[in-house]
Amino acid sequence: MERELKYIDIVEQPISMHPKKFALWLFMVTVVMLFAAWTSAYIVRQAEGNWLEYDLPEIFWYTSGVVVLSSVVLQWAYYSAKKDNLVNLRIGMVITVALGIAFLVGQWYSWVALVDREVFFVGNPAGSFLYVITGMHALHLISGLLFLIIVLISTFRLKVHSQSMNTMEMATTYWHFLGGLWLYLFMFLLLNH
Amino acid sequence: MATASVAHHDAAHHDHHEHEHHDNFITKYIFTQDHKMIGKQFLVTGIFWALIGGFLSILFRLQLGFPDMNLEFLRPLLGGWIDEGGKLDPTFYLALVTMHGTIMVFFVLTAGLSGTFSNFLIPLQIGARDMASGFMNMLSYWFFFLSSVVMFISLFIKTGPAGGGWVVYPPLSALEQAIPGSGLGMTLWLVAMTFFIASSLLGGINYITTVINLRTKGMSFSRLPLTIWAFFLTAVIGLLSFPVLFAAALLLVFDRSFGTSFYLSDIYVAGEALPNTGGSPVLFQHLFWFLGHPEVYIVLLPALGITSEVIATNSRKPIFGYKAMIISMLGITILSFIVWAHHMFVSGMNPFLGSIFMFLTLIIAVPSAVKVFNYLTTLWRGNLIFTPGMLFSIGLVSFFISGGLTGIFLGNSAIDIQLHDTYFVVAHFHLVMGSASFFGLLAGVYHWFPKMFGRMMDARLGYIHFWLTFVGVYLVFFPMHYIGIAGFPRRYYSWTNFEFSNMYTDLNMFVSVAAIVTFSAQFIFLFNFFYSMYRGRKATQNPWRSTTLEWTTPIEPGHGNWPGEIPTVYRWPYDYSKPGAAEDFIPQTVPLSQTPESNLPHEQEQVKLELEIMKEEEEVLVANESKH
């Protein structure tokens, strides 16, 4: 009897996650696969030799710090929204967006640094890969930033509060994911250099 | 539990009222968000592409079967692609082969098959009002449509469509000066495929979310019809592999248009050295086949799922080994990601790596054999009803066996040295993937046509269509094994230039005639399809006496599928010919408590629990009603 009770319970509640949130997770899976493809292509190509050696731009350390900080602030904004502290929520969101933009600017300067080192997009694939990986990550980060701005606007319309957290939760998840993705990519580049 | 069900009923009512309003033509037929209409859109677009893809193959079969034929009569259609002497232009021949492959693999057997039936059947069979996101679903179709338009336009441009094979290997596809087809045609190919990937991902995310989140009460994973399992796993495969194709294609775009060297290295074209250095063409093959091989199962699994359903229904028997079917599909899903390099045995890859991939490849024979065994044992001593859908399903099993056997040869890296890129490969995948999936598609259309259009297709025309196609497919593809063993490579313009292959002229002529007959037979289907849509015999609610949920909807379900409550599910979908039961099928919506005569001992125990839950439900419902 015990076993069957459990069985019925599972039947009752398929999954309590909101379908849109679930779809977001699936979308993040596709992004993971995208970067898995590029990073593994990087390894395969590197193993074949004829690979240009150069130092990674130091600015990556700073942008990594910025992205972590932005996630922390966003998480604070999220908790503020949960506690209906809407002023802190807005402050947090604005800071996060500003940090996101700062990150993108930093990534741009990493490209400037690369050009200074005479590592170009066109040339040895070692350099091209770096441009593709950072560029595509920046593109995804822009999509995350747009999402944050949409949520920011809705916070000013008082649409985000403890009773209506869905978009906020999704934006937070996506932003943390993008930050984590960058940390993975940076670590990957450090290790496979 | 009680609160959950309140919310559930509320949501159901709410949804229903929302869809009451009348749609105008545009929201009903064009920018529709109804999964059934989107499924039909995919189907009609898929049929359109199948005709084009088939027609292209007839064109190059004319060249292969009748190399001396004067093709002047095709000039009104092909214009400059027919040269002065009335012969087909060799570069256009390459473009024909490329477009035939691309169209059939992606536009017909991915979008046309998975797009049609995942959209149409998932909500109907799991008991949902619609997909998780109707908007995303609509977007998925329109991305596919956009992709179709771009690909279609590429057929008519001056330099011709892409000509580097459907696998678009660089450097051939990366260098505009290589062949005419690598110019604008290839660019349009890449643009079209980008939209196609977006469409597949939007669709796939929706399918997975819907199956996981929106199943009706009682529809546990162990009660899902095998069709849904197949669509679900197909979507999972697509979700994991299409991004990789996108990654590969993007690097190819950079190589083509921006001068990077991801895939290009040390190339001389017309005596001139290109600046590219340090690229690796094998890298593209790795990335491409990481999608390319799972793609085979994206094409095949939905067809296998449809077959499971059709064979069980028309054998009037429960599917043999339901759990084994699921496990073998799971096995195929996982294995499909770790066998890609068997397409690359002769690419100069490390032979040791080849041995590993050979081993992994041969393991796929196990779940495939399990599936075949289960189909045969389901058929064994069943009360077979030979509907057209059933015949096409049995045809699929036949192709799956005969084409699958040659896969064991090709999977061996040693034999593959001889067979690689010959007509043996062409024969293999046209049987096991092409024809099998195509038959699954046709079986699905014949079987679910009554649900789609409320009318029946003509069975007699269906039988004629089946026998002509079934025999035709074998006549086309079986001889190709011999040509392939002799070592003749695919994609070659002409046979007659080589001593060892010019004795196959008669065989090729035979294949071409068979191909023309088989292609012509499809017009019987086409007539049947469109004629029956308007003039067919009116369908009854459950014409095949099937157990699954879609047959509990009205004959022509509106948006929202069920006019009242969504039915609850009490049993698995394969209660056919259950001993003791009055009828030879028990729909999933019939509670165990209503069928004490046919319940098995363990089901009898579940009855008590079921009654308790139903009572509780009723109380909630009454409480809910009084609140309103």
Least confident of A131-135, B196-200, B362-366, B501-505: B501-505
Q: Which of A7, A30, A128 sits opposite B239 (nearest CB)?
A: A30
CA distance B204 to B239: 6
Interface predicted TM-score (ipTM): 0.90
Using the predicted structure, report yes or no on whether residue B20 has a pLDDT greater than 50: no
| Assigned fold of B2-535 | Cytochrome C Oxidase; Chain A (1.20.210)
Taking CA–CA distances from A21, the nearest residue in chain B reads B209
% residues pLDDT > 70 (chain B): 96
Using the predicted structure, report yes or no on whether residue B5 has a pLDDT greater than 50: no
Q: Which of B244, B344, B568 to mutate to test the interface with A (most CBs of A within 10 A)?
A: B244
User: CB B204 to CB A17 under 8 A?
Assistant: no
pLDDT band at residue B270 using 50, 70 and 90 as cut-offs: confident
Residue from B189, B134, B185 nearest B156 by CA:
B185
- Domain ranges (residues) in chain A: 17-191
| Residue B561: C-alpha distances to residues B4, B121, B247 (Å) | 22, 11, 39
Average pLDDT over every residue of B248-255? 95
Average pLDDT of every residue of chain B = 91
Average pLDDT over every residue of B414-427? 94
- Domain ranges (residues) in chain B: 2-535
Q: Which of B6, B208, B213, B221 to mutate to test the interface with A (most CBs of A within 10 A)?
A: B213
Angstroms from B118 CA to nearest CA on chain A: 17
pLDDT digits (tens, 9 = 90+) for B464-475: 999 999 999 999
Angstroms from A122 CA to nearest CA on chain B: 5
pLDDT digits (tens, 9 = 90+) for B172-182: 999 988 889 89
Query: If you search the block for the tokens 């409550």, which residue do you land on?
Result: B565
Q: Which of A4, A30, A181 to mutate to test the interface with B (most CBs of B within 10 A)?
A: A30
User: Which three-class secondary structure state does DSSP give residue B43?
Assistant: helix
CA distance A148 to A168: 8
Overall residue count recorded for chain B in this entry: 628
Q: How many CB contacts within 8 angstroms connect chain A with chain B?
A: 125
User: CB B209 to CB A29 under 8 A?
Assistant: no
Q: Which of B206, B243, B286 sits opposite A44 (nearest CB)?
A: B286
Sign of CA dihedral B230, B236, B241, B243: positive
pLDDT of the residue at A15: 56
pLDDT digits (tens, 9 = 90+) for B366-386: 999 999 999 999 999 999 999
Whether the CB-CB separation of B404 and B368 falls below 8 Å is answered with: yes
Using the predicted structure, report yes or no on whether residue A7 has a pLDDT greater than 70: no
Using the predicted structure, report yes or no on whether residue B17 has a pLDDT greater than 60: no
Q: Which amino acid is at B216?
A: T
pLDDT band at residue A19 using 50, 70 and 90 as cut-offs: confident
Residues of B in contact with A127 (CB under 8 A): none
User: CB B243 to CB A38 under 8 A?
Assistant: no
pLDDT digits (tens, 9 = 90+) for B581-609: 989 999 999 999 888 888 888 888 888 88
User: CB A20 to CB B133 under 8 A?
Assistant: yes
pLDDT of the residue at B620: 74
Taking CA–CA distances from A48, the nearest residue in chain B reads B280
User: CB A4 to CB B605 under 8 A?
Assistant: yes
Using the predicted structure, report yes or no on whether residue A17 has a pLDDT greater than 80: no
Residues of A in contact with B214 (CB under 8 A): 14, 19
Average pLDDT over every residue of A111-138? 94
pLDDT digits (tens, 9 = 90+) for A163-187: 888 999 999 999 999 999 999 999 9
Residues of B in contact with A9 (CB under 8 A): 1
Q: Which amino acid is at B223?
A: R
Average pLDDT over every residue of A26-36? 96
pLDDT band at residue B1 using 50, 70 and 90 as cut-offs: very low
pLDDT digits (tens, 9 = 90+) for B65-122: 998 889 999 999 998 899 988 899 999 999 999 999 999 999 999 999 999 999 999 9
CB atoms within 10 A of CB A64: 18
Is B275 or B435 the better-scoring residue by pLDDT? B435
Angstroms from A82 CA to nearest CA on chain B: 23
Whether the CB-CB separation of B169 and B348 falls below 8 Å is answered with: no
pLDDT band at residue B628 using 50, 70 and 90 as cut-offs: low
- Residue A168: CB partners within 8 Å, gap ≥ 6? A78, A81, A151, A160
User: CB B212 to CB A15 under 8 A?
Assistant: yes
pLDDT band at residue A16 using 50, 70 and 90 as cut-offs: low
pLDDT digits (tens, 9 = 90+) for B491-513: 999 877 778 778 888 999 999 99
Q: Which of B1, B209, B606 sits opposite A19 (nearest CB)?
A: B209
Taking CA–CA distances from B247, the nearest residue in chain A reads A34
Q: Chain A interface residues facing chain B, Cβ-Cβ under 8 Å?
A: 1, 4-5, 7-15, 17, 19-20, 22-23, 26-27, 29-31, 33-34, 36-38, 41, 44-45, 48, 50-52, 121-126, 128-129, 132, 136
Tell me which DSSP letter residue B268 carries. E
Half-sphere exposure of B344 (CA within 13 A, CB side): 27
Angstroms from A12 CA to nearest CA on chain B: 6
pLDDT of the residue at A10: 37
Residues of A in contact with B243 (CB under 8 A): 30-31, 33-34, 37
pLDDT band at residue A97 using 50, 70 and 90 as cut-offs: very high
User: CB B244 to CB A37 under 8 A?
Assistant: yes
**How far does Cα B551 stand from its chain's mean position?**
23
pLDDT of the residue at B22: 61
User: Which three-class secondary structure state does DSSP give residue B524?
Assistant: helix
Residues of B in contact with A51 (CB under 8 A): 278
Tell me which DSSP letter residue B27 carries. I
- The tokens describing B86, both together, are 């009335």
Residues of B in contact with A37 (CB under 8 A): 243-244, 247-248, 287, 290
Using the predicted structure, report yes or no on whether residue B9 has a pLDDT greater than 70: no
pLDDT of the residue at B355: 93
Residues of B in contact with A27 (CB under 8 A): 201, 205
Taking CA–CA distances from B197, the nearest residue in chain A reads A30
pLDDT of the residue at B13: 41
Angstroms from A174 CA to nearest CA on chain B: 16
User: CB A23 to CB B250 under 8 A?
Assistant: no
pLDDT of the residue at A130: 95
Average pLDDT over every residue of B247-252? 96
The angle formed by the CA atoms of residues B103, B108 and B110, to the nearest 5 degrees, is: 105
Residues of B in contact with A11 (CB under 8 A): 217-220
Whether the CB-CB separation of B225 and B587 falls below 8 Å is answered with: no
Average pLDDT over every residue of B523-540? 96
pLDDT band at residue B610 using 50, 70 and 90 as cut-offs: confident
Taking CA–CA distances from B215, the nearest residue in chain A reads A14
User: CB A34 to CB B609 under 8 A?
Assistant: no
Residues of A in contact with B219 (CB under 8 A): 11, 14
Q: Which of A11, A19, A45 sits opposite B214 (nearest CB)?
A: A19
Residues of B in contact with A126 (CB under 8 A): 278
% residues pLDDT > 90 (chain B): 77
CA distance B443 to B396: 9
Average pLDDT over every residue of B400-417? 94
User: CB A45 to CB B241 under 8 A?
Assistant: no
- Residue B242: CB partners within 8 Å, gap ≥ 6? A30, B197, B200, B201, B204, B291
User: CB B244 to CB A44 under 8 A?
Assistant: no
User: CB A5 to CB B248 under 8 A?
Assistant: no
CATH code, A17-191? 1.20.120.80
User: CB A17 to CB B213 under 8 A?
Assistant: yes
Strand partners, B585: B576
